[in-house]
Amino acid sequence: MSSNVYKLIRNEYDRRRANALSDFEERKQSLYYHIPRLEEIEEEISQAGLKYNKAILMEQLSSDSAIGELSDTIERLNAERTSLLEKNGYSAQYLTPSFQCKRCSDTGVIKSETGGADTLCICYRQQLIDMLYDQSNLSTVNTKGFESFVIDYYPDVVNEKRYSIKSSPRRQILGILDNCRSFVDNFSNTETNNLLFSGPTGVGKTFLAGCISMELMKRGHTVLYQTAPALFNTIYEYRYNSANNDDWESAVYSNILQSDLLIIDDLGTESPTGMRYSELLNIINTRLANDTRKPCKIIISTNLSLRELFEYYDERIVSRLTGGFDIFRFAGDDIRRLKKD
Ligand SMILES: Nc1ncnc2c1ncn2[C@@H]1O[C@H](COP(=O)(O)OP(=O)(O)OP(=O)(O)O)[C@@H](O)[C@H]1O
Ligand SMILES: [Mg+2]
Ligand SMILES: [Zn+2]
């Protein structure tokens, strides 16, 4: 998926630049038609420019005064052009291409002036995040990243009967947050485990997965968010269509296996067909194998307790989950209800 996103952005920049240049050409031609002297000026400037460059190249042969004279000519022509434009009610910029980004002229790249490496323009970085976000399917989770995560919702009281944990939900979530930060910091490390969030409804499992995703997209990683029912539907659809049509390709299906991060939300709410075991196992195994080449991590969120998960899924899946995943138990009150009050 990464290369796909980069290709899309490249196309978008090529399109922007071509548009700006063709608008400019159109404007120029119509202006030259109405004010022919402007076209002559362009021609004279380009002639003088050629001579000027030649004079610079053959420095020894040419006197300094000749070079000075040429640059005076160019300056004079430029001034004449500006005043002609202004006299006719145009700004001087009217005869330059209007790029969306002035910094990079819609190339996405800032050329180094010292001969060092070129750098990506800020507009490119923003575009990248926007595209990663569009592809991630995360629009239902409204977060900017860890900065949006409020810990005040988690009560700082110990109540084992109510929250089913020995410490307070506040302490618990602080520990989870620490782990999620290091998950992000060490995302590209093969040693980094996947994450499994378990807990009752409304305690921020989906929200925290969204925060992690935003942090990763800011770093240029691809993310795909799918609820378990949607995920299995995509897979069934892919299996069905690819069995009937050799050329069938599914972008979403390949992203399920290849995006840098896959979020499987609400595991256990999909319809309990036999096929989902082998499909889930296939996803986990394929991604674990891919992770050795490039980051290919998984976050699973579920309402099921670990015990229920063991009852609900095949033993091979459970051993995968307990092996390759760090498991976190979320606790607290339903934040959906807290927010309403
Ligand atoms: N730490 C938080 N800071 C701010 N808002 C939060 C936080 N946690 C959750 N929320 C908000 O509370 C609501 C419920 O959270 P979320 O959807 O993450 O719960 P969940 O654990 O995934 O529940 P479910 O098991 O029902 O899917 C969401 O609207 C979310 O925006
Ligand atoms: Mg959720
Ligand atoms: Zn730019």
Write the DSSP assignment of 76-141 as a string of letters.
HHHHHHHHHHHHTT--GGGGS---S-TTTTTSSEEPPSSSS--EE-HHHHHHHHHHHHHHHT-TTS
Query: Which ligand 1 atom sits nearest the alpha carbon of residue 302?
Result: 25
- What's the 17 CA to ligand 3 centre distance in angstroms? 11
* pLDDT at residue 314, rounded to an integer: 79
Decide: 201 in ligand 1 pocket, CB within 6 A: yes
Decide: 336 in ligand 1 pocket, CB within 6 A: yes
Residue range 82-103: mean pLDDT, rounded: 92
> pLDDT tens digit string along 29-85?
999 999 999 999 999 999 998 888 888 777 655 667 777 888 899 999 999 999 999
- Work out the percent of the chain whose per-residue pLDDT is above 90: 65
List the beta bridge partners of residue 225.
Answer: 263
* pLDDT at residue 240, rounded to an integer: 87
* pLDDT at residue 1, rounded to an integer: 46
Ligand 1 pocket: which of 153, 176, 206, 225 to mutate (most atoms <8 Å of CB)?
206
* pLDDT at residue 286, rounded to an integer: 94
Structure-block tokens of residue 298: 């998984």
On the question of pLDDT at 2 being above 70, the answer is no
H helices of the chain, where? 2-34, 36-57, 64-87, 122-136, 160-163, 169-185, 205-218, 228-244, 251-258, 275-290, 306-312, 315-324, 335-340
**Length of the chain counted residue by residue:** 341
Residue range 173-202: mean pLDDT, rounded: 97
Mind spelling out the 3-state secondary structure of 302-326? ECCCHHHHHHHCCHHHHHHHHHHEE
- What's the 245 CA to ligand 1 centre distance in angstroms? 41
Please state, in angstroms and rounded to a whole number, the distance separating the CA atoms of residues 299 and 284: 11
* pLDDT at residue 229, rounded to an integer: 93
List the beta bridge partners of residue 329.
Answer: 198
Cα separation values, 252 from 93, 114, 241, 281, Å: 45, 43, 13, 18
Task: Tell me 73's DSSP state.
Answer: H
User: What's the predicted TM-score (pTM) here?
Assistant: 0.81
- What's the 121 CA to ligand 3 centre distance in angstroms? 5
Please state, in angstroms and rounded to a whole number, the distance separating the CA atoms of residues 69 and 86: 26
Decide: 207 in ligand 1 pocket, CB within 6 A: yes
- What's the 127 CA to ligand 3 centre distance in angstroms? 10
Structure-block tokens of residue 214: 């935003």
What's the mean per-residue pLDDT of the chain? Answer: 91
What is the CATH superfamily name and number for domain 137-340? P-loop containing nucleotide triphosphate hydrolases (3.40.50.300)
On the question of pLDDT at 302 being above 90, the answer is yes
- What's the 206 CA to ligand 1 centre distance in angstroms? 6
* pLDDT at residue 117, rounded to an integer: 86
Domain layout of the chain by residue ranges: 2-121, 137-340
Cα separation values, 38 from 30, 181, 209, 220, Å: 11, 60, 59, 46
Question: Which ligand lies nearest the alpha carbon of 12?
Answer: 3
Decide: 338 in ligand 1 pocket, CB within 6 A: no
Please state, in angstroms and rounded to a whole number, the distance separating the CA atoms of residues 335 and 96: 54
Question: Among 41, 208, 10, 246, which residue's Cα sits nearest to residue 109?
Answer: 10
Ligand 1 pocket: which of 225, 263, 335 to mutate (most atoms <8 Å of CB)?
335
List the beta bridge partners of residue 301.
Answer: 197
Band of pLDDT at residue 317, cut at 50, 70 and 90: confident
Please state, in angstroms and rounded to a whole number, the distance separating the CA atoms of residues 256 and 266: 16
On the question of pLDDT at 28 being above 70, the answer is yes
Residue range 99-105: mean pLDDT, rounded: 94
Structure-block tokens of residue 273: 């067909």
* pLDDT at residue 309, rounded to an integer: 84
Please state, in angstroms and rounded to a whole number, the distance separating the CA atoms of residues 19 and 16: 5
Please state, in angstroms and rounded to a whole number, the distance separating the CA atoms of residues 258 and 276: 19
- What's the 211 CA to ligand 1 centre distance in angstroms? 11
